[in-house]
Structure 1
Amino acid sequence: MFTVGAAYPDAVIESMVVTAHTDHFKIEQPVTCCGSCLQVMAEFERKQDKEIEVLFYCIDGKILKVKGIKNLLPFVFAEDRLRLDS
Structure 2
Amino acid sequence: MKTIKIEATLAVYDSVDELPKDVMELMSKAMEARSKAYVPYSNFSVGAAILLDDGEVVLGNNQENASYPSGLCAERTAIYYAGANYPEAKILKMAITAGSRTQPTITPIPPCGACRQAIAEYEVNQNSAIEIYFMGETGKVVKANSLADLLPLGFDKSFL
TM-score, normalising length: structure 1: 0.87
Residue of 63, 67, 85 corresponding to 1:7: 85
Query: Which of the pair has more CA radius of gyration?
Result: 2
Segment drifting more, 51-60 vs 4-13: 51-60
Instruction: Name the structure, 1 or 2, with higher relative contact order (CA <8 Å, separation 6+).
Output: 1
Q: Aligned partners of 1:20 and 1:59: how far apart in 2?
A: 6
The alpha-carbon deviation at position 56 of structure 1 amounts to 0.7
What is the aligned partner in structure 2 of residue 70 from structure 1? 148
Identify which of 130, 141, 144 aligns with 1:52: 130
Match of 1:19 in 2: 97
Q: Quote the Cα distance in structure 1 between the aligned partners of 2:135 and 2:112.
A: 15
Q: What's the RMSD between the two structures over aligned residues?
A: 1.3
Q: Which has the higher strand share?
A: 2
How many residue pairs align between the two structures?
82
Deviates more, 1:58-67 or 1:34-43: 58-67
Structure 1 runs of 4+ aligned residues shifted over 3 Å read none
SS of match in other structure, 1:60: coil
Shift of 1:81: 5.2
| SS, match of residue 91 in structure 2 | coil
Determine if contact 2:134/2:141 at 8 Å carries over to the other structure: yes
Gap runs ≥5 in structure 2 = 1-78
Question: How far 1:79 moved relative to its partner?
Answer: 4.2
Q: 1:49 to 1:24 in 2, by over 3 A?
A: same
> Is the Cα–Cα contact under 8 Å of residues 95 and 133 in structure 2 kept in the other structure?
yes
Task: Choose 59-68 or 38-47, whichever is displaced more.
Answer: 59-68
Q: Does 1:32 align with 2:127?
A: no
Alignment deviations for residues 28-51 of structure 1 (CA, whole Å, 9 cap, x no partner): 101111111000101100111110
